[in-house]
Chain A
Amino acid sequence: MKQHLEIKTRYFLPVKTMIVVAGVLAVIVVTTSGFKDKYSFTNTDAIYDDINKDSIESVEAFMQVYKVLMSPRCMNCHPAGDHPLQGDDSRIHTMNVRRGKLGTGVYALKCSNCHQPTNVPGLHTPPGNPKWHLPPADMKMVFQGKTPHQLALQIMDYKQNGHKNKKQLLEHARDTLVKAGWNMGEGYTPPPLSYDAFLTAWDTWINKGAYAPKP
């Protein structure tokens, strides 16, 4: 009889432990899911790797990123409409330049007709980059008018971000066209963070879990 009881005890202990562990995991899942919305990232991404996640640090970093993305140097080429914007007041680009299907302008008004591979000397002359363009018409990647919550979700959404995975998003911040925002020539106010500070914030936001600020 005594022997029978010992066997019974050994059998039930792991079950109780598993129930407790499962309960703790459920609490963790419910708690963390409150910080982020649904992303449609590719399955191969390690974006949800738990090792480095920190929702508070990630959101704080995004709020720094957001200030840069909403500055005229970035937002002017991510307009809500089909015309690029211009100047620190983000007015419609002179000549009513249009986005076009590919984001490179239309007819005689294609971006690279005026925007050269490098800046043109002089005050408020066309800034330069070999890849000057807007997002294409089928994926406009609008910044203008977006809240931090909306913009974070959009950037992390593979279906809305130019089909970029985590690695490509990290690389995108190092693209020469992004970097051009900090060196557009005479008369252009740079974004509110230095380029290096922006890169640090961008990487932190993504590497700490790419959390979206609450709506």
Chain B
Amino acid sequence: MISLDVNQKTYQVDADPNTPLLWIIRDVIGLTGTKYGCGVAQCGACVVHMNGEAVRSCVTRVSRAVGKKVVTIEGLSKNNNHPLQLAWQEIDVPQCGYCHSGQLMSAAVLLRENNNPTDKDIDDAMAGNICRCGTYLRIRKAIHLAAEMQRKGIKNG
């Protein structure tokens, strides 16, 4: 059995240690907010946080997550009130929405490390998250808004 800490809950998982973390999160634990896109770390749909870093769960073996804290989109905030989630709703960012849990998890790392990002900072952080609907301009706008909310101290769940 493999012991995993996901969204501050401990799960005992019976799985091959080489299984991608994505499939453990989705198929074993049942948290389906994290999406499968390319399977080779090229699109960003599967991004989750592992000890605070935006890892791509499709290529991360579950054995690498042992002893680390995993956070998925479901655990980003307690009440869907992370500044990014509020900004995403405010700007109405998604079109089909498939890539957006990955977009939000990547953007969350950016805002944690830089509370006032420029357009270039956003490009540097987000260029690995692909959106086939092309919502990039709204993503950028929402990140600026979320950064402003964060600086003003609007509740971060």
User: A114 near B114 (CB under 8 angstroms)?
Assistant: no
Query: Per a CB cutoff under 8 Å, which of A96, A97, A98, A107 touches B113?
Result: A107
Residues of chain B contacted by A112 (CB below 8 angstroms): 53, 55
Interface status of B150 (Cβ within 8 A of chain A): no
Cα distance, A110 to B110, chains bound together (Å): 11
Interface status of A199 (Cβ within 8 A of chain B): no
Cα distance, A209 to B70, chains bound together (Å): 51
Interface status of B76 (Cβ within 8 A of chain A): no
| Interface membership of chain A positions 130-142, coded 1 if the CB is closer than 8 angstroms to chain B and 0 otherwise | 0000000000000
Cα distance, A120 to B41, chains bound together (Å): 10
A114 and chain B: residue at smallest CB distance: B41
Residues of chain A contacted by B114 (CB below 8 angstroms): 107
Residues of chain B contacted by A107 (CB below 8 angstroms): 54, 106, 109-110, 113-114, 121, 124-125
Residues of chain B contacted by A114 (CB below 8 angstroms): 41, 55-56, 59, 128
User: A97 near B128 (CB under 8 angstroms)?
Assistant: yes
Q: Is the interface of A mostly helix, strand, loop or mixed?
A: loop
Interface status of B7 (Cβ within 8 A of chain A): no
Interface size class of B (residues with CB under 8 A): 20 to 34
B115 to chain A: closest CB distance in Å?
12
Interface size class of A (residues with CB under 8 A): 20 to 34
Q: Is the interface of B mostly helix, strand, loop or mixed?
A: mixed
Q: 8 Å CB contacts to A: which residues of B117-151?
A: 121, 123-129
B55, B56, B128: residue with the most chain A Cβ atoms closer than 10 Å: B128
User: A126 near B59 (CB under 8 angstroms)?
Assistant: yes
Residues of chain B contacted by A106 (CB below 8 angstroms): 124-125
User: A108 near B40 (CB under 8 angstroms)?
Assistant: no
Interface status of A215 (Cβ within 8 A of chain B): no
Residues of chain B contacted by A94 (CB below 8 angstroms): 42, 128
User: A126 near B41 (CB under 8 angstroms)?
Assistant: yes
Cα distance, A25 to B56, chains bound together (Å): 63
User: B42 near A116 (CB under 8 angstroms)?
Assistant: no
A98 and chain B: residue at smallest CB distance: B124
B43 and chain A: residue at smallest CB distance: A95
Cα distance, A107 to B120, chains bound together (Å): 12
Cα distance, A112 to B129, chains bound together (Å): 16
Assuming the contacts A120-B41, A122-B40, A125-B41, asked whether A108 and B125 have C-beta atoms less than 8 A apart, the reply is yes
Q: 8 Å CB contacts to B: which residues of A107-124?
A: 107-110, 112-114, 116-117, 120, 122, 124
Cα distance, A116 to B60, chains bound together (Å): 7
Cα distance, A116 to B21, chains bound together (Å): 12
Residues of chain A contacted by B106 (CB below 8 angstroms): 107-108
User: B55 near A113 (CB under 8 angstroms)?
Assistant: yes
Assuming the contacts A108-B47, A108-B107, A126-B41, asked whether A95 and B53 have C-beta atoms less than 8 A apart, the reply is no
Q: Which 4 A-B pairs have the closest CB atoms?
A: A107-B125, A108-B106, A95-B128, A108-B54
Which residues of B come within 8 Å of A, CB atoms?
A: 40-42, 47, 53-56, 59-61, 64, 105-107, 109-110, 113-114, 121, 123-129
Given contacts A110-B53, A113-B55, 7 further A-B contacts (CB under 8 A): A94-B128, A96-B124, A97-B128, A107-B113, A107-B114, A109-B124, A113-B41
